[in-house]
Amino acid sequence: MIISVVSLKGGTGKSTISQNLAVCYAHSGYKVTLVDTDVNGSSLRWSGLRSDDLPRITTLALNDGNALRKNAKLLHADCDIMIIDGTPALSELASTTLLLADIALIPIKPGPLDIWATEKFLEKYENVRTLNDGLSANFVLNQFIYRSNLGQEVVDVLNDMPIPLLKSILHTRVAFSECISGGLGAFEYKDPKAAAESVSLANEVIEILENKLQKK
Ligand SMILES: Nc1ncnc2c1ncn2[C@@H]1O[C@H](COP(=O)(O)OP(=O)(O)OP(=O)(O)O)[C@@H](O)[C@H]1O
Ligand SMILES: [Mg+2]
């Protein structure tokens, strides 16, 4: 199963979500490979900080479209779940990331900029779907702030879009930022609310993937 975390805008939470899903799945006993496609290499660096005592997440960087296509298939044969941390660009690499995926997760930060970027993303997604009809996608609200009007507006806009919004939401919590420097996921850190949110997201995504596998 390949989960690609993508958006055409920077800073939406792709790396945060990729790392947290990887951690939750590794704790559930899955063999997880995390592929960092961003030249900034944030997930790769994060993996270097991870203690050897923690469940293992094989992490590598692939930021060339052809190399990603070829190696992802080989690596996928050797793991249960591959998570691809996407690059924030309308590039060939972003298309390859989508082409390889069983499911694409699109983090959205409440605000007009993310919504505008999403409209462009939809075009790209529809193009890729003509080549990968097994692909499905979901929006994920990230850095959500309680009781903000902006939050409700974004939910309303996303609910009118052709890609479903996941029920699980990641709120703005310092734990999500703090755990990065220890190579941890929120599940391994000291904020039970952040941990619960990451587990809820991981479970919801696995449920969707299992339903898809049953229908195949
Ligand atoms: N739910 C959250 N709560 C608090 N901080 C968050 C949350 N999600 C992400 N962040 C912080 O926001 C910043 C951007 O997040 P992240 O690096 O995951 O985004 P990205 O989409 O991977 O960015 P890029 O496009 O640059 O790769 C980071 O500093 C991260 O720690
Ligand atoms: Mg990133």
Distance 52 CA to ligand 1 centre (A): 24
Partnered with residue 82 across adjacent β-strands are 2, 33
Tell me, using a 6 A CB cutoff, whether residue 143 lines ligand 1.
yes
pLDDT of amino acid 150 = 76
pLDDT of amino acid 46 = 98
pLDDT of amino acid 207 = 98
Tell me, using a 6 A CB cutoff, whether residue 164 lines ligand 1.
no
Tell me, using a 6 A CB cutoff, whether residue 110 lines ligand 1.
no
Tell me, using a 6 A CB cutoff, whether residue 11 lines ligand 1.
yes
pLDDT of amino acid 182 = 96
pLDDT of amino acid 110 = 87
Token readout for 24 is: 């939750």
Tell me, using a 6 A CB cutoff, whether residue 37 lines ligand 1.
no
Q: Ligand 1 pocket test: which of 4, 15, 198 has the largest number of ligand atoms within 8 Å of its C-beta?
A: 15
Tell me, using a 6 A CB cutoff, whether residue 96 lines ligand 1.
no
- What averages of pLDDT result for each successive group of 10 residues across the chain (216 residues)? 93 97 98 96 97 97 95 95 92 92 94 81 90 94 82 86 95 97 97 98 97 84
Distance 213 CA to ligand 2 centre (A): 28
pTM as predicted = 0.96
Torsion of CA 31, 7, 155, 148, to 10 degrees: 100
Distance 214 CA to ligand 2 centre (A): 32
The CATH code belonging to domain 2-215 is 3.40.50.300
Q: Is 106 left (phi over 0), alpha (psi -120 to 50) or beta?
A: beta
pLDDT of amino acid 90 = 73
- Ligand 1 atom 9, closest CA: 13
Domain locations along the chain: 2-215
pLDDT of amino acid 2 = 97
